[in-house]
């Protein structure tokens, strides 16, 4: 299978998964990380950026 064929297959599979997110089980370790991040946000322990600013900073960091 060529790379473009593999990529097309991946897109097809992902589009089927994306329409039924409730069918995808989230592992407990991932839920734990999200809970920790939510708590840090509620306690004011993190800084939140607008998406456009975050993209700008990422762009600057990788150049």
Q: What is the pLDDT of residues 35-61, one digit of tens each?
A: 999 999 999 989 899 999 999 999 999
Q: Is pLDDT at 21 greater than 90 in this prediction?
A: no
Report CA Rg, the chain: 18
Q: What are the residues whose beta carbons fall under 8 Å from the beta carbon of 17, sequence distance 6 or more? A: 23, 24
Question: What local confidence, expressed as pLDDT, does residue 34 receive?
Answer: 96
User: Which 3 state secondary structure label does DSSP give 63?
Assistant: coil
How far is it, in rounded angstroms, from Cα 32 to Cα 9?
Answer: 32
């Amino acid at each position: 299978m060529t790379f473009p064929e593999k990529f097309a297959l991946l897109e097809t599979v992902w589009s089927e998964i994306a329409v039924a997110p409730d069918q995808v089980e989230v592992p407990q370790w991932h839920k734990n990380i999200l809970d920790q991040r939510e708590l840090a946000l509620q306690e004011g322990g993190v800084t939140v950026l607008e998406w456009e600013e975050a993209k700008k900073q990422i762009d600057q960091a990788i150049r």
